[in-house]
Amino acid sequence: MNNNILFPVILAGGQGTRLWPLSRMGYAKQFLHLTSSPLSMLQSTIARLDSINTQQPLLICNEEHRFIAAEQLRQLGLKQAKIILEPVGRNTAPAIALAALHVIAQGQDPILLILAADHLIQNTAEFQQVIIRALPLAEDGKLVTFGIVPTHPETGYGYIQKGQALGSGFRVSRFVEKPDLSTAKDYVESGEYCWNSGMFMFRASRYLDALAKSRPDIFNACQAAMTNISSDLDFIRVQAKAFAACPEDSIDYAVMEKTRDAVMVPLDAGWSDIGSWSALWEVSDKDAEGNHFSGDVVALHTHNTLVKGDKRLIATLGLKNLVIIDTQDALLVAHKDQVQDVKKIVERLKAEGRTEHLNHREVYRPWGVYDAIDHGERYQVKRITVKPGAKLSVQMHHHRAEHWIIVSGTAKVTKGDKTYLVTENESTYIPIGQVHALENPGVIPLELIEVQSGSYLGEDDIVRFEDRYGRA
């Protein structure tokens, strides 16, 4: 294996709470289609590497996102890509350490290209050229970070000060925290500072050496977490208890601010972290009135406004500088100047024990998707779509019965020791406590309506006996 072939490591563990209600804990920002591209943010991150000589990427994501991530990799045809599952979030320094330890355990020591899964880069060709120009620095043992050439004074980003020129970049003079507006203006006017992008490049062993020197506690915890790892499907599962004991820290604090080998390579390629709805408005195509609309929108006397609709008409009249985000179960209306505080709404939802921050009405599973159409005190109605060849787990429920009505396709139903087919316009009943399974044996999607009834209808009332997706 050529250790100088780039090995992309995609960090996909974020929650994107500032982009609620579109981004939720169960379907976060990196998996969304936020721009005009047909690809998600994660898929776009991988696709912009197409013209660079790289290995298939290694993805690091949360346990609850594993099947969404695997499906989006599959859609790109990345059959060899692996996914490291973090049982808990511990920030970027430990996440990157897991990746470096994994590739070295495979007998490799490549140059790692660390990318966030949820950034927008509009000039792909320039991005690729900067990556190639930075390679010699990483091959020479430097810890490379990419600094975004600032377009305006920004108080939402950290900054990196240029030091002595070195190759295609500069030695890092210092990292600075998010500044106030006056300081940000001084930074931009000086020409000495770039925004901290959170993208890096270095050899795997070089990063581990630096981490072991500056934060041996993190290094040792990650080493322990990577012993006796287990694999199933596309997933690499680390030792959960050992990783939970790992201190939480970013690569900036843990390594980059402590090493003498930090080098910054400037990047001017139309970058945005799309960290808020106003940031998305800024990078979106706009009409003559400064609006960006997606969905079914009718607007009169509306200016500088972002509207993202779902499945119903949105009409606006006499609005200015607003953000309107409509989903099937939640609507956000906010002034663009206030969108950084959307995360406070998510915090309020959590505190009040609500569920709108967790999942959309449509919930994706490895076998397909379900849409929670309606619910009441003792009933719930779902529209379920099962992919061809997919099967739900063999399971039972203590508190609910289920009635399945087939809309299209053919269902293979297991109920106790009986297995039978149910076709369009037919139905079957699963009583409380009955062991059962549902499978799509056909070549077209299976669609059905599920009516649940009982004293408790939570998703945790599932006892799995067998599951091809490793959830039993």
pLDDT tens digits, 36-91: 889 999 999 999 999 898 999 999 999 889 989 999 999 999 988 899 999 999 99
Mean pLDDT to the nearest integer, 441-466: 95
**Beta-bridge partner residues of 8:** 113
- Rounded percentage of the chain residues whose pLDDT exceeds 90: 88
- Across the range 310-334, mean pLDDT stands at 96
Q: Residue 453: which of 427, 432, 470, 468 has the closest Cα?
A: 432
How sure is the predictor about 5, in pLDDT bands with cuts at 50, 70 and 90? confident
Give per-residue burial for 202-222: e unless 16+ CB within 10 Å, then b. bbbbbbbbbbeebbeebbebb
d(CA 329, CA 349): 13
Return the bridge partners of 272, or none: 120
Would you state the pLDDT for residue 439?
98
Topology (CATH) of 7-272: Spore Coat Polysaccharide Biosynthesis Protein SpsA; Chain A (3.90.550)
1 pLDDT higher than 50? no
What's this model's pTM, rounded to 2 decimal places? 0.89
Range in 118-122, 244-248, 326-330, 359-363 with the lowest mean pLDDT: 359-363
Number of other residues whose CB lies within 10 A of the CB of residue 154: 18
Q: Provide the residue count of the chain.
A: 472
Q: What is the H or E stretch that residue 299 is in?
A: strand 297-300
pLDDT at site 197: 94
Contact indicator for 59, 8 with CB cutoff of 8 Å: no
Residue 127: pLDDT above 90? yes
The domain locations on the chain are: 7-272, 277-346, 362-466
Query: What is the structure's pLDDT at 472?
Result: 66
Gyration radius (Cα) of the chain, Å: 24
Q: Domain 362-466 falls in which CATH fold?
A: Jelly Rolls (2.60.120)
Q: Is the pLDDT of residue 326 over 90?
A: yes
Q: Cβ neighbours of residue 437 under 8 Å, at least 6 residues apart?
A: 391, 392, 393, 394, 395, 413, 414, 466
Residue 2 pLDDT? 57
3-class secondary-structure state, position 269? coil
- Mean pLDDT, to the nearest integer, of 433-454? 97
Q: Residue 454's pLDDT is what? A: 96
pLDDT in tens, 291-321: 999 999 999 999 999 999 988 999 999 999 9
Q: Read off the pLDDT of residues 410-429 as tens digits, 9 standing for 90 and up.
A: 999 999 999 999 999 999 99
DSSP labels for 351-362? HTT-STTT--SE
Tell me what the pLDDT averaged over the chain comes to. 94
Task: Give the dihedral of Cα atoms 41, 43, 44, 49; nearest 10 deg.
Answer: 140
CA distance 355 to 221: 33
418: tokens are 């009986």
Secondary structure of residue 49 in the 3-state scheme? coil
Q: In terms of Cα–Cα distance, which of 262, 221, 228 is closest to 244?
A: 221
- How many Å apart are CA 396 and CA 252, to the nearest integer? 47
Q: What is the mean pLDDT of residues 142-163?
A: 94
Structure tokens at 278: 């106003």
The stretch 121-127 carries a mean pLDDT of 96
Residues 6+ apart with CB under 8 A from 191: none
Cα–Cα nearest to 89, from 185, 13, 187: 13
User: CB atoms < 10 A from the CB of 40, how many?
Assistant: 24
Q: Is the pLDDT of residue 232 over 80?
A: no
To 10 degrees, what angle do helices 92-105 and 216-225 make? 50
Cα 137 to Cα 140, 170, 249, 256, 334: the distances in Å are 5, 10, 25, 15, 45
Assign residue 416 a region: left if phi > 0, alpha if psi is -120 to 50, beta otherwise? left
